[in-house]
A and B are shown apart, each in its own frame.
Chain A
Amino acid sequence: EAAVTQSPRNKVTVTGGNVTLSCRQTNSHNYMYWYRQDTGHGLRLIHYSYGAGNLQIGDVPDGYKATRTTQEDFFLLLELASPSQTSLYFCASSEGSSNSDYTFGSGTRLLVI
Chain B
Amino acid sequence: GDSVTQTEGLVTLTEGLPVMLNCTYQTIYSNPFLFWYVHYLNESPRLLLKSSTDNKRTEHQGFHATLHKSSSSFHLQKSSAQLSDSALYYCALSNTGNYKYVFGAGTRLKVIA
What is A's interface to B at a CB cutoff of 8 Å? 4, 31, 33, 40-45, 48, 50, 58, 90, 94, 96-107
A4 to B45, CA, bound (A): 12
19 contacts between A and B (CB under 8 A): A4-B44, A42-B6, A42-B105, A43-B90, A43-B106, A48-B99, A50-B99, A58-B100, A90-B44, A98-B33, A98-B95, A98-B96, A98-B99, A99-B50, A100-B99, A102-B101, A104-B44, A104-B45, A107-B44
A21 to B6, CA, bound (A): 29
Chain B contact residue count (CB 8 A cutoff): 25
* A98 & B90 in contact (Cβ 8 Å cutoff): no
Contacts beyond the supplied A33-B100, A99-B50, A99-B94: 14 A-B pairs with Cβ under 8 Å = A40-B9, A42-B103, A42-B104, A48-B99, A94-B99, A98-B94, A98-B95, A98-B97, A99-B33, A99-B52, A100-B99, A102-B37, A102-B45, A102-B47
* A31 & B103 in contact (Cβ 8 Å cutoff): no
* A31 & B99 in contact (Cβ 8 Å cutoff): yes
